[in-house]
Chains A and B, each alone.
Chain A
């Protein structure tokens, strides 16, 4: 058994950490947090130059052709740095959808552009309240054009193209749902920026009015493709969440060592120590579940649906737990805009919803475990 990343992959992680420590300091994140830029363009360019955007994209489509384990270690570092770039939308969602279902021409058009940092992509799935479900897709597709509203769309305001889930039939079944590729810079698309929990990653409302769209994948298979995309993204996001959880735990630990109250380091009080120990437990469970998810993702194993759901649940809980208790360890200073704690708190809670809520993934895990037990 070798349930660990290889030395090369660990080296890549170190390389990503070093790069992000230099190029993505909390100060840099704050430029986007304070609304002075929609995302960190310089960082995005740098990520492309490092080959990180295309690390899992095959060489024939302009990527590094390394693989998904390599993408996982980079994802962890992106989460750790709270990077204010459309990495998850572009790399985990849009690129994965193209890799799974794109035609050769579609891959040739978009994947090299993603890898080089020229194109930002996203997934337009949600339409207001609710979790991923075929019945929640109301936007229609007919005669090559889309009509309807998607909200919220992560990084929608800065994206060049979107993978859009649309209703192309009226049978009332899952097969009504198909996926489409839309060039967001073309006509028939209106984009409105929305305020959201985590300003370091934008959310938008996109209105499609007879917007030209080309099918992505076979008609009627939209939902099954989407399910695969969400599972793969769940594992990759779990690594970001693990990275964020670890960083929040470290911040809390460091503060507990530095801060003196009642004449002692506050980290010498059991109430504080035990809180931090529990954060370590959550983060460790999340990391181990995510490793299993990484294995399933990289080998395209039959266990992926179950592994992805467990990783998603565990990582969501861990990041939320660590981010909120990090503020608690910091006391009043943790509640200031000046301290970085709230950036992780915001990111943790925004990420908990992005691919569907915790409740949604808990539901998924039970369904998938039952399916396995029945088989």
Chain B
């Protein structure tokens, strides 16, 4: 048991470190370091602009999407090399936010199901950041039950005509391409009538509308499709096999979202170390210490769980199921920590501005944003189902709509 790199890993780390040292946008280091709660705030720059610049530089240096094959814009790196790169990239990794869905979900799906021509055309530009991709899966009536989606694609000659609506699409407003799953046959059970496509987001009939979220920010969109034409050459997988294709994407989603998780513990520790309560520092208060220690132990547990995963990768083994707990634990913890920090602030905790009493409102922002952590990329409940079924081997839910043609499934609760 040790934390040392193998000689090859150490050499790789050294190469990566040197390249980053020579090329990273150091002027952004301070601001990126402070953007620790999953919210990137840059005073003078747009994240997409600076992100694209960093992505392009990485691509030219052969560091973008480095675990992809070389012919598609990657470096042919091993999984452990990708982890080492991420460790070395550090805060600059936050600049990759606009590309994560493309790199983590859309790219792998194109790689697995696209034609050779499509792979050579689209993947290198995705890797270089020149073209940004989004994922068009969720719908107003198909969230956790994504196979219940209603967006229709109908075959007209060599093309498909798409009508419907998607929702929760991160980055749709700045994306060039989208990975779209649509219903091509409503007369068969829901999982069997789906097909996967990709499309140009500038296609006529695509309309992107931002969603104002509960936290006041606008990071997601609704995307409407009105008679949007997609050539059959942009179909991924066979007609009716969209559900299987989507599993590739979703499996990658859970892995990539789990990779860089905020727990709120370092912020809370610092806050409690500085906060003066009536009887002294918060961190000297027995009730505060008890909660803080439990959270710290949980957060350490997540960190060392990821080390176990990394070790498996380093040995060339498939990681175990332990990685599946990350988002479930950190999402709830973030929300609990935010609530408790505000409790310690007392009446002033209600303020959300740049007030000194509330440590610049960071926990208020965390409180308002944390519900999304427990929903996006699989709700807490879906994640528990996954652990129960795939890790513990418990039976799947009884699915009353499993063998029913999609167009016979009830659409209203009452």
Q: Give residues in A with beta carbon < 8 Å to B.
A: 1-6, 69, 249, 253, 256-257, 264-265, 267-268, 270, 272-274, 276-278, 280-281, 284-289, 291-292, 294-295, 298, 309-310, 313-314, 317, 359, 361-363, 365-366, 369-370, 373
Contacts and interface: CB of A to CB of B under 8 A. Distances in A.
Given A1-B2, A274-B381, A277-B387, A366 B298 contact: no
B348 to A, nearest CB: 24
A1 B388 contact: no
A274 B381 CA distance: 8
B304 A289 contact: yes
A3 B388 contact: no
Interface string B291-313: 01110111011111101101110
Interface in B1-57: 1-5, 9
B392 A314 contact: no
B280 interface: no
A2 B301 contact: no
Contact of A1 (B300, B303, B314): B314
A256 B328 CA distance: 22
Contacts of B311: 1-4
Contact of B301 (A256, A288, A365): A288
B60 to A, nearest CB: 29
Contacts of B303: 288
Given A1-B4, A276-B388, A366-B292, A292 B394 contact: no
A264 B396 CA distance: 11
Contacts of B325: 280-281, 284-285
Given A286-B301, A309-B293, 19 more contacts: A1-B311, A2-B311, A3-B2, A3-B311, A4-B308, A253-B394, A264-B398, A273-B388, A277-B384, A277-B385, A285-B305, A287-B322, A314-B298, A317-B297, A359-B290, A362-B289, A362-B293, A365-B293, A369-B296
B296 A310 contact: yes
A313 B294 CA distance: 7
A363 B289 contact: yes
Contacts of B298: 285, 314
Contact of B304 (A267, A292, A362): A292
A289 B392 contact: no
B281 to A, nearest CB: 10
A3 B383 CA distance: 25
B368 interface: no
The 6 closest A-B pairs by CB, nearest first: A285-B301, A362-B293, A273-B388, A288-B304, A277-B384, A277-B387
Classify chain B's interface size. 35 or more
B308 A267 contact: no
A276 to B, nearest CB: 6
A238 B38 CA distance: 33
30 contacts: A1-B5, A1-B311, A2-B4, A2-B315, A3-B310, A6-B1, A249-B392, A253-B394, A267-B394, A268-B394, A270-B385, A272-B394, A276-B394, A277-B387, A277-B391, A284-B322, A286-B301, A288-B302, A288-B308, A289-B297, A291-B304, A295-B2, A295-B3, A310-B296, A310-B297, A313-B293, A314-B298, A362-B289, A363-B290, A366-B296
Contacts of A276: 388, 392, 394
B329 interface: yes
B218 to A, nearest CB: 33
Contact of A288 (B269, B322, B391, B394): B322
A281 B1 contact: no
A298 B296 CA distance: 23
Contact of A273 (B289, B301, B308, B389): B389
B157 interface: no
Contact of B395 (A267, A274, A286): A267
Nearest to A250: B392
Nearest to B309: A3
A56 B187 CA distance: 67
Contacts of A289: 297, 300-301, 304
Given A280-B392, A285-B329, A369 B269 contact: yes
B279 interface: no
A366 B293 contact: yes
A64 B315 CA distance: 29
A256 B393 CA distance: 10
Contacts of A287: 322
Contacts of A1: 2-5, 9, 307, 310-311, 314
Contacts of A291: 1, 304, 307-308
Contacts of B307: 1, 3, 288, 291-292
Contacts of B397: 268, 270
B361 to A, nearest CB: 24
B283 interface: yes
Nearest to A268: B395
B78 interface: no
Interface string B121-157: 0000000000000000000000000000000000000
A284 B294 contact: no
B203 interface: no
A310 B302 CA distance: 12
B293 to A, nearest CB: 3
Contacts of A363: 286, 289-290, 293
A3 B308 contact: yes
Contacts of B396: 268
Interface string B368-387: 00000000000001011101
B148 to A, nearest CB: 18
B273 interface: yes
Contacts of A366: 283, 289, 292-293, 296
B305 A288 contact: yes
A2 B395 contact: no
B314 A2 contact: yes
Nearest to B315: A2
A50 B290 CA distance: 41
B2 A370 contact: no
Nearest to B293: A362
A277 B392 contact: yes
B324 to A, nearest CB: 9
A365 B296 contact: yes
A310 B292 CA distance: 11
Contacts of B387: 277, 280-281
Nearest to A361: B293
Nearest to A359: B290
A96 to B, nearest CB: 19
B81 to A, nearest CB: 13
Contacts of B384: 270, 273-274, 277-278
A285 B294 contact: no
B364 to A, nearest CB: 24
A253 B387 CA distance: 12
A311 to B, nearest CB: 8
A295 B1 contact: yes
Contacts of A281: 325, 328-329, 387
